């Protein structure tokens, strides 16, 4: 499975322990590890194949959204943010529908951490694409976008400005103001508000990828007309 193949050269992203000795995975047997990474349901919440939580489950995955804010480094202004997690069976359709308030023409950013020789992730930018065309391309790469823990995508309209991000952890993050139409849509998908909820990014977790997904990512870059280099 993808998790076992990539586990020991994967990374623990945000909120991860600074030393391996602090990891909840440290003393697991191979069978225990495989069993944990094979769990894809917590209650009614279904995970994609992209990420698994820590073995000690300090954050148990669940559906919901919360209000947050982002501080712009240049202007020091606070930008309202919605962070959301949705169960796998409706996640992709929800993401695509969240793009509608952005307007007919948008910009796209692909985020990749496939290249483990560099820290963090790399952003690839494409300006001015019609939203219906983008949606068609996204549906062609639904499997990649849902299940690759090294691929994220952001869609934005700088003229509003608003942005919808579908990140490597398969969280939905919306930036801008106003955000009421996005909140309404989340609730239509039974993604309720819980401003105290925690997300998988806020504890130790592991990402999964594969050579197949890297190849699909390269194809997606070409379909979007992005530079093939990193």
| Residue 59 neighbours by CB distance under 10 Å | 18
d(CA 91, CA 172): 9
* Per-residue pLDDT reduced to its tens digit, 116-168: 555 567 899 999 999 999 999 999 999 999 999 999 999 999 999 999 999 99
Give the rounded percent of residues in the chain with a pLDDT score beyond 70: 87
- Rama region for 164: left / alpha / beta (φ>0; ψ in -120 to 50; rest): beta
- Encode 23-87 in three state secondary structure: CCCCCCCHHHHHHHHCCCEECCEECCCCEEECCCCCCCCCCEEEEEEEECCCCCCEEEEEEEECC
- Average confidence (pLDDT) over 58-83: 92
Q: Read out DSSP for 158-185? A: TTTTEEEEE-TT--EEEEES--HHHHHH
Question: Which pLDDT belongs to residue 29?
Answer: 87
Is there a contact between 69 and 29 (Cβ–Cβ < 8 Å)? no
d(CA 177, CA 208): 33
Question: Which pLDDT belongs to residue 6?
Answer: 44
Number of H helices, E strands in the chain: 7, 11
Question: Which pLDDT belongs to residue 116?
Answer: 57
What predicted TM-score, i.e. pTM, was given to this entire model? Answer: 0.88
d(CA 230, CA 120): 13
* Per-residue pLDDT reduced to its tens digit, 5-63: 344 334 334 333 333 456 888 788 889 888 998 999 999 999 999 999 999 999 999 99
């Amino acid at each position: 499975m993808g998790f076992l193949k990539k586990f020991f050269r994967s990374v623990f992203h945000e909120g991860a322990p600074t030393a391996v000795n602090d990891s909840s995975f440290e003393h697991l047997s191979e069978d225990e590890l495989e069993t944990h990474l094979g769990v894809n349901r917590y209650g009614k919440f279904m995970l994609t194949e992209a990420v698994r939580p820590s073995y000690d489950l300090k954050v148990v995955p669940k559906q919901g959204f919360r209000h947050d804010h982002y501080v712009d480094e240049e202007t020091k202004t606070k930008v309202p943010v919605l962070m959301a997690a949705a169960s796998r069976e409706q996640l992709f359709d929800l993401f695509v529908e969240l793009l509608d308030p952005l307007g007919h023409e948008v910009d796209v950013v692909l985020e990749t951490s496939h290249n483990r020789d560099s820290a963090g992730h790399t952003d690839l930018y494409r300006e001015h694409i019609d939203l219906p065309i983008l949606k068609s391309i996204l549906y062609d790469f639904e499997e990649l976008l849902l299940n690759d823990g090294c691929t994220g995508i952001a869609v934005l309209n700088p003229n509003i400005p608003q942005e919808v991000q579908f990140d490597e952890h398969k969280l939905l993050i919306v930036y801008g103001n106003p955000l009421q139409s996005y909140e309404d849509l989340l609730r239509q998908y039974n993604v309720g508000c819980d401003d105290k909820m925690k997300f998988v990014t806020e504890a130790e977790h592991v990402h999964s990828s594969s050579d197949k997904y890297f190849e699909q990512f390269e194809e997606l870059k070409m379909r979007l007309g992005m530079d093939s280099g990193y």
